[in-house]
Structure 1
Amino acid sequence: MSERQEELKFAYWVPNVSGGLVVSTIEQRTDWSVEYNQKLAQTAERAGFDYALSQIRFTAGYGADNQHESVSFSQALLHATTKLKVLAAILPGPWSPAVVAKQIATIDHISSGRIGINVVSGWFKGEFTAIGEPWLEHDERYRRSREFIEALKGIWTQDNFTYRGDFYRFNNYTLSPKPVQKPYPEIFQGGSSRAARDNAASVSDWYFTNGNTPENLKLQIDDIQVKAANNDHKVRIGVNAFVIARDTEEEARAVLDDIIAHAHVEAVHAFGDAARQAGSASPEGEGNWAKSTFEDLVQYNDGFRTNLIGTPRQIAERIVELKAVGVDLILAGFLHFIEEVEYFGQKVLPLVRELEETALRRKAA
C-alpha cells in the first residue's frame, strides 16, 4: 500500500511524566526516566510506530509527581532513533512563537526533519496560576493558539515576516536557518469543543480528539472536514486510545477491570473537576471530558472509550472501523509500555495492514 493510499498512522504517548497513562495505583512496568523512554522509542520504531508524543506538565497532579520538559525530552528520543518522528507538546503562554520557531527549526536540522509540535491550548487553571501565567477564558485560549500557529507558519516560511495580532506581533522578522521540513514541521492540536474544531479546520495540520465511539467520532470529524473544505484547508484526524491487547478477550477485560478497581479515586475526581471547569467555560458548555464517566477519567484522555481492548484481531478490526469514519492516526497509551508496544507491533499492526489491503481491494473491485 503506497503512502498516498493513506495507511493509518500510529503514535504513542511518551511517559515522560510519572504515573503512566492511568490515574490508578495498579502496578505498572512503565517508567518516566530518560533511559526507559529511549529504549521505548527504539522499541516503538522497530514495531512500526510513526510518532511519539511528549507530554507537557508544569505541576504535579493525577499521579504525575515528576515531569520532564517536553522539548528537551523530545531531543533525547530523537538522538536514540533514526526514523521515529517526535511531537513536543507546547503551551502558548509559557512559550512564545518566536522561541518555539527557533527551537524547533534547530531541532529539525539536528534530527534531519523528525520533529513536530502539539499545540496545547491549556485546560488546567491551577497550572497556569502556579507559574504566574494569565488564565484566559476558553475561546480566548483557542484564539491565542490560532495566532500562535499562524505566527509559527509565517516565521517558518517567510522572510521579513510581519504580523499584527491581539496576542503576538512581529516586525520584519527573518528566521535563518528555517526548518528542514517543507513547508514547515507538522502542527498538531487537540480538543473537542467547537473552538478546537474551528481551529483545526482553519490552521492545524492534525487534530487530536479524545477517545470515543466510531459513531460519535464521525460527528466530530464530519463537522471539521466540512469546515476545513469551506476554508480551503486540509486537516487529518488522530484519536486517543488506551490499548489492552491480550491473547484472549477475557484477559484484556480483566486488566481493564483491575485498572479501574485500583483507581486513585481522589485524583480522578480532582482531574474531572478541573477538566469540566475548563470545558464548561466554552460558549456551548462542552469541551474534552464533558460526557466522561468516572471510569472514563481513569484514563485521562478517554482512551477506554475507543474500545481497543481485546484480542489482536478484535483490536485490528476496530481500528479499521475507526479509519472508515475518517480517523488517520491512532494515538495509543499502554499499561506496561515497552512490552505492550512490542506485542502491538508483532500481533496487531500486521492484521491492520492486512485489513487495509483487503478494504482497498474491495474498493477497487
Structure 2
Amino acid sequence: MTWSNRDALKFAYWVPNVSGGLVISNIEQRTSWTIDYNRELARIAEKAGFDYALSQIRFTAGYGAEYQHESVSFSHALAAATTKLTVIAAILPGPWNPTLAAKQIATINHLTNGRIAVNVVSGWFRGEFKAIGEHWLDHDERYRRSEEFIRALRGIWTQDNFTFRGDFYRFDNYSLKPKPIDPQPEIFQGGSSRAARDMAARVSDWYFTNGNTPEGLAKQVDDIREKAKENGHAVKIGVNAFAIVRETEEEARAVLNEIVEKANPEAVNAFGHEVKNAGKASPEGEGNWAKSSFEDLVQYNDGFRSNLIGTPRQVAERIVALKRAGADLILLGFLHFQEEVAYFGEHVIPLVRELEQQEATAAIAAE
C-alpha cells in the first residue's frame, strides 16, 4: 500500500527563542537564542520533515533563561524564513488581550499564507505575573480565562459583529477585517490537570501533554477523547519529548547521564519549587510536574520520561509506540538543535515512516 501523509505522525520542535537551551544543565549546548541561528534552524527543520515549530513565551529571566525574544514577532520571522513550516506562537492570557492576539495572528496568517498557529499558555509562574504587574488567578480560574480567550479568538476570526459576554472578556458587535484565511489558525494548549484536559475536550484543536510513557499517555488520551466526544468535539494530542539519538544506546545514555550530572541543582530545585506548587494547586493535585523527579525537572517538560534516548531504530520504535498510545504529534527538544534536528530528519523520521506503513499494511491484512 502507499503510505498516506494524512495519517502520518506530525513532528514539532521547541524554538530556542529563550537562552539556556532546553535543559537546566551546565553541559555544552550548541544552541543559540539568536534570530540568525533560529532562522537557519527553521530551514533545517523544514528540510528534515518537521511540520511545526513552537515558540516559547517568557517575560522574566530564570532557570538558565537570561534572554527571551517575544514569541509572536519571533514566530513571524521564522515563518517568513521558510516556505512550509507552521510556527506556533505561544500567547499568555493576561499580558495579551484576545483582541490584540486575534489581530496579530490574522495579519501573520495573511503574510505567511496560513502558516501560523497559537499555543494558549494558561500560566504557572506566579513570580513572573507579579514582576510584570499582572493579576494572579487561582489554578482553575486561569483555565476558565484561557477557555474564554480561545472562544473569543474563534469568534473574532469567524464572525462579523461578534458579541461575547464572559467573566474575563467582553465584546460588543466587533468585526475584524481581514479575518484569517481558511483553514483557520490551529489552537494548541497544554496542561495535565483536570481543568486543562476538560478545556481541551471543549475548545482546543490540539492538546500538549508533558513527557510520558506510552501507558501514561494512553490514560490521558482516553480521558480527553471520551470527554471531547461527549461534547461533540475532536482534539489531537501532542506529547513532549527530549531526543538524544546516537549511533549506540550507550552513547545516548552517556549524554543523558552527563546532562543530569552537570545539572544546576539550585536552578532545578527553584524551578521544581515553582512548578510543583503550580501542579499541586489544581484541585486534584495532578497538574503538570506534580509528580516529577529531579531528573525529570532538568528538562522543563518531563521530556526524558518519553525515553527517546538511544539509536535511531530504538527511538523510531518508541515514537511509534507513543503513536499507538494516541499521540498525533511529537514535540521535540534537543541538546544541539541544528545538527541534531538534521540528524533526526535523516535517520529517525524515515524509520518512523517505514514502521507506520508496516503497521498500516498489517492492519489492513488483518481485516
TM-score bracket relative to the smaller structure: over 0.9
3, 14, 19: which one aligns with 2:5: 3
Mapping for residues 273-288 of structure 1, pairs under 5 Å: 273-288=273-288
Identity over the aligned pairs, expressed in percent?
Answer: 73
Q: How many angstroms apart in 2 are the aligned matches of 1:189 and 1:286?
A: 17
2:211 — aligned with what? 211
The 3-state SS of whatever aligns with 1:108 is helix
Mapping for residues 1-365 of structure 1, pairs under 5 Å: 1-4=3-6, 6-182=7-183, 184-365=184-365
Q: How many angstroms apart in 2 are the aligned matches of 1:132 and 1:141?
A: 16
Determine if contact 1:108/1:181 at 8 Å carries over to the other structure: no
The 3-state SS of whatever aligns with 2:154 is helix
Post-superposition Cα deviations, 1:88-114, rounded to whole Å, max 9, x if no partner, equal: 000000000000000000000000100
The Cα of 1:222 is off from its aligned counterpart by: 0.4
Q: How many angstroms apart in 2 are the aligned matches of 1:255 and 1:109?
A: 42
Post-superposition Cα deviations, 1:259-309, rounded to whole Å, max 9, x if no partner, equal: 000001000000000001111111111210011000000001000000000
Q: How many angstroms apart in 1 are the aligned matches of 2:240 and 2:170?
A: 34
Q: How many angstroms apart in 1 are the aligned matches of 2:277 and 2:293?
A: 15
Post-superposition Cα deviations, 1:119-176, rounded to whole Å, max 9, x if no partner, equal: 0000000000000000000000000000000000000001110000000000001110
The 3-state SS of whatever aligns with 1:133 is coil
Structure 1 residue identity aligned to 2:299? Q
Q: How many angstroms apart in 1 are the aligned matches of 2:134 and 2:170?
A: 19
Determine if contact 1:28/1:335 at 8 Å carries over to the other structure: yes
The 3-state SS of whatever aligns with 1:192 is coil
Post-superposition Cα deviations, 1:241-272, rounded to whole Å, max 9, x if no partner, equal: 00000000000000000000000100000000
The 3-state SS of whatever aligns with 2:172 is strand
Q: How many angstroms apart in 1 are the aligned matches of 2:323 and 2:27?
A: 32
The Cα of 1:181 is off from its aligned counterpart by: 3.0
The Cα of 1:55 is off from its aligned counterpart by: 0.1
Q: How many angstroms apart in 1 are the aligned matches of 2:199 and 2:28?
A: 39
Post-superposition Cα deviations, 1:173-200, rounded to whole Å, max 9, x if no partner, equal: 1110000132x20000000000000000
Q: How many angstroms apart in 2 are the aligned matches of 1:210 and 1:282?
A: 16
Determine if contact 1:92/1:121 at 8 Å carries over to the other structure: yes
- Runs of at least 4 residues off by over 3 Å: none
Structure 1 residue identity aligned to 2:292? S
The Cα of 1:3 is off from its aligned counterpart by: 3.5
Q: Which runs of 5+ in 2 are unaligned?
A: none
Q: How many angstroms apart in 2 are the aligned matches of 1:255 and 1:336?
A: 12
Determine if contact 1:117/1:187 at 8 Å carries over to the other structure: yes
Determine if contact 1:241/1:304 at 8 Å carries over to the other structure: yes
Determine if contact 1:241/1:333 at 8 Å carries over to the other structure: yes
The 3-state SS of whatever aligns with 2:263 is coil
The 3-state SS of whatever aligns with 1:201 is helix
Determine if contact 1:10/1:49 at 8 Å carries over to the other structure: yes
The Cα of 1:76 is off from its aligned counterpart by: 1.1
Structure 2 residue identity aligned to 1:325? A
Q: How many angstroms apart in 2 are the aligned matches of 1:9 and 1:155?
A: 28
CA RMSD of aligned residues (A): 0.6
Structure 1 residue identity aligned to 2:213? T
Post-superposition Cα deviations, 1:208-243, rounded to whole Å, max 9, x if no partner, equal: 000011101111110000000000000000000000
The 3-state SS of whatever aligns with 1:354 is helix
Structure 2 residue identity aligned to 1:148? F
Structure 1 residue identity aligned to 2:112? S
TM-score, scaled to structure 2:
0.98
Q: How many angstroms apart in 2 are the aligned matches of 1:295 and 1:278?
A: 18
Q: Which runs of 5+ in 1 are unaligned?
A: none
Q: How many angstroms apart in 2 are the aligned matches of 1:54 and 1:226?
A: 30
